Amino acid sequence: VEQASDGSVAFEMILKNKYNVVISDVRMSICSGIDLLHKLKSHKGRVPEVIMMSAFSDLTTQKAQELGARALFLKPAKIDEI
């Protein structure tokens, strides 16, 4: 388990390492979870991403699903739900 300070750092980590899954918040500084999904979609060997958010909005949910998010969870999510 590793942690990134924002989506840009997470993307660089994904390029350098192999992960089974990425758990990301929608709201992050510099590069949001949706921005990270955009980057991952264009990256070969893409990693499944799970998005967490404090409240579901139709627009964010739709965008995340269009970009390939495997699951969406409300915060705080229970580990056994993920």
DSSP string, the chain: ----SSHHHHHHHHHHS--S-EEEES--SSS-HHHHHHHHHHSTTPPPEEEEESS--HHHHHHHHHTT-SEEEESSPPTTT-
pLDDT tens by residue, 11-60? 899 888 888 888 888 888 888 888 888 888 887 656 777 777 777 677 78
Q: What is the pTM of this model?
A: 0.76
